[in-house]
Structure formats: structure tokens, C-alpha cells
Chains A and B, each alone.
Chain A
């Protein structure tokens, strides 16, 4: 059932030329240089340390690496991270990291 509705939504998005993140509830990541990252549609924090932040997503997880990371603001939908960001990595569910 979920798969059918997912396909339908994807098809609608293609036909109507809509941005995929709006229709498919995908995370939207906005990055400003190496200073700020805003992640919308996250599903919670998996790990947080000054040089590593892992966020859960619908189908996988996202890792932000850097130095002196600070979560400026956290809400149910979005995280706003500041610091010296060195990398952003996305991992699909089930696949081993790396």
C-alpha cells in the first residue's frame, strides 16, 4: 500500500513538475559555505559530538562532520547546525557506512 502511494506521488511530481522534496517528504539540506547547515525533514538525532552529528532520515541517515559543531536550533522538522563543517554524507538504509 505504502509503495503504491509512494509511486503515485512520484508520478504526480514528475507530471506536475513539482519539487520532489515537497511531494516525497525528502530531507532538504541547505548549506551555507562551511559555516551553517539547515536540515529539514529529519527524523531525530542518532549521535551528537563536537565533531560529528548523525541525523536519522526516512530512508537512511545523514552525517555531518566538522569541528566545534553547535546545534543552534532544533525543532520537530528542522535542525540548524553551525560550526566548522567539513563534510556531509548521506547513507541509504541497510547499506553499510562508507
Chain B
């Protein structure tokens, strides 16, 4: 029995029996179903034993019959310990205060978190939450339940499609999902569409507004193509004209294409050098026997050692040096001309947009001079020619 947690819980005492017949006392105790343990004699011939506290009180009548008394030697177990503790008032008060403080503090909201990557700024959400009574150090009981809170919060945040309030212990998580809105259209004032350059109209499609020109009309730069004024002279209205106008435009290009071109080529010969980096100094450790190249290109790669996320001031550097030769190639005048024209065509595409198509090209003039082919070319390009001009 001794040492077992049940005995500890009920409490037990070590008792010394004084006077009377020990044998008859033991027999009487066992008959009563009182369990005694560690019954032994001291050197002075007294009987010692352990007994649990409830059983100790049951021993009283037996002792009287036997004509003996007991003396408690020591007390063990929870009841005695509690009694000792109860004598220390501040200790007990402290325990109660601790439990009370824990309870009271757990009824407060400690932190409010906003989740969901919303376009609505977090401050605005927190402000709305505060207006609904969700803020840190708020008393939990004063808050409504999460469902009605999220509903009322959603009313305060009209931009949000859905607002969720989740209370977990002392923390509140507000999840905000944005409603998807159509992109805002830029504000447009009433306007005309006018010609960007001199051109001959090939196609005109007016979405809104009144077309002023027709196919095959010749227009000058600044002429109104699609008018933003509809109605007659007395009753009219200005609108945002929209549409697409394609026209033939002539561009004159002067091209100078060189006959000799220089290209850099790798010879395929290369060498590596390795360095050890300490701080901002590099120590070469290999590649000493390399030869000098006349012209070369060096590619450098640095590997720094990392310790988790931090860069250490050690590492290796590899230099890869590639030998380069310059090859000069001579072009025939025809080749040079083709190269020049190709470049001019690419330039037109870049400058006038991808829907520009070259309808015709006329070489007006061509001569070779100072190792260059000089060309004057007239390109006939079909391209969009409309430009916006506000009315008023």
C-alpha cells in the first residue's frame, strides 16, 4: 500500500501502538477489514504500522477494547499537504488569483488578424472590424457570434465579396475575399478621328461617329476621318468616335548598307581559371599555365557558400575565357542591298505596328560609294492612319 498513489490521495499515517496486546489488536483490525501495512517492532518493542486516514478513525473502538493508545509518528499524503498549504493564506490566494487571471485574460481577444490578399487596405478592414466591436483587448462576451459578425462586417465592406470571421480562442482571423470587378474604362471625351499622315483610304470602319471619307479618297494630315458630331446643324450631339481607318501611305527611306561586315566568332579554344574568394579578395588556384589570347571574352561565375539564408564571405570564382576572332566578310552590292532593304522593312513594322503591310517598294536611286551601298526607297505601306483629336 505504501507509496501507491491511492494511499497518497487518501492520506496515511505512521502510528505507534502503546500498551495492550498487539496480536489481538491486529486480529481485530483484520476482522474489521482495516488494512494495516509495514507492521514491525521497534527495538524498544513497540508496534509500528501504517494506516490510511479513514481507517485510522475506525481503529478507535478497537483500541478502547484492547486497552491501548496510539501515537501518530508522521503524516503523509494529500490531505495533510493540503492542510499545510491552507495554512499559507497568501499561497492559496496566489493560486486562486493565478487561475482567475488566466480565466479573465482568456476571455479577452488578444489579436486580430486579417487574411486573404485583398485589395482593400488592412487598416480599413481593421477599422470596420473595430466599429463592429472586433479589436484586441475586447472582452469576448461583448462580441456577437462569428456568423452575424461576418455578415455585418460584409455590409461595412461593400468591396468584399465574402467576409469570414473565425474566432479561435483569444485570436480572431478575418478573411476577406474581394469581389472581381470589371476593369475601369478610361474616361473618354468627345473626339474626332483624324488622319495621322497624308494617305489614300483603303478601308474605313466606323464603330461610332460619322465617317467623313470613303474608300479611295485622298486625305491630308489632320483631315477628319470619322466625325464625333452627329445630327444636323441645329440638333447635334458630340460623341466619342471610334473606328478603324486603313490607308496607303508612302514612306521614303534612305538606306546606307556597308559592303564589309565584321563578325565576332568564337574559335572554340577556351581555358578555365579558378579562384578562391575570401572577403573581397580572390586567390587564383588553378589555370596558371594558360596562354594569352589576342582577343577574348571572359565569363565569370561566382559561387558563394551559404549557411541557411546567409551569405558567407567565402566562395569560389570560375573564369571561363573564350578566344574570339573577328571575321571580316565582303558582301556583293546585291547582297548589301538586300540586307539594307530587309532592315528597312523590319523598321517599318516596328514603327507603324504589326498590321502595317508593305504593298510595294520602289528603288528610286542606288549607288555605291565609300564601301557602302546608298539606296533611296519608296515604300507603299497600308497602315492604320487614324488619330484622336478631342472636340472643343
Binding site for B on A (CB under 8 A): 44-50, 68-76
Q: CB within 8 A of A74: which of B22, B35, B41, B47?
A: B35
Q: In the complex, which residues of chain A have a beta carbon less than 8 angstroms from the beta carbon of B37?
A: 71-74
Binding site for A on B (CB under 8 A): 1, 22-23, 26-27, 29-31, 33, 35-41, 47, 49
Q: In the complex, which residues of chain A have a beta carbon less than 8 angstroms from the beta carbon of B47?
A: 48
Report yes or no: A75 in contact with B38, Cβ–Cβ below 8 A.
Answer: no
Given A73-B37, A74-B39, A75-B35: A44 and B30 within 8 A (CB)?
A: yes
Nearest CB of B to A79, in Å? 9
Nearest CB of B to A36, in Å? 13
Q: In the complex, which residues of chain B have a beta carbon less than 8 angstroms from the beta carbon of A73?
A: 1, 35-37
Q: CB within 8 A of B39: which of A44, A71, A76?
A: A71
Report yes or no: A48 in contact with B23, Cβ–Cβ below 8 A.
Answer: yes
Q: Which of B27, B31, B39, B49 has the most CB of A within 10 A?
A: B39
Q: Which of B27, B30, B35, B37 has the most CB of A within 10 A?
A: B30
Nearest CB of A to B239, in Å? 108
Q: In the complex, which residues of chain B have a beta carbon less than 8 angstroms from the beta carbon of A49?
A: 41
Report yes or no: A74 in contact with B23, Cβ–Cβ below 8 A.
Answer: no
Q: In the complex, which residues of chain A have a beta carbon less than 8 angstroms from the beta carbon of B40?
A: 50, 68-71
Q: In the complex, which residues of chain B have a beta carbon less than 8 angstroms from the beta carbon of A70?
A: 38-40
Report yes or no: B23 in contact with A46, Cβ–Cβ below 8 A.
Answer: yes
Report yes or no: B39 in contact with A48, Cβ–Cβ below 8 A.
Answer: yes
Nearest CB of A to B176, in Å? 69
Question: Please, how many angstroms separate the alpha-carbon atoms of A69 and B30 in the complex?
Answer: 18
Nearest CB of A to B45, in Å? 8
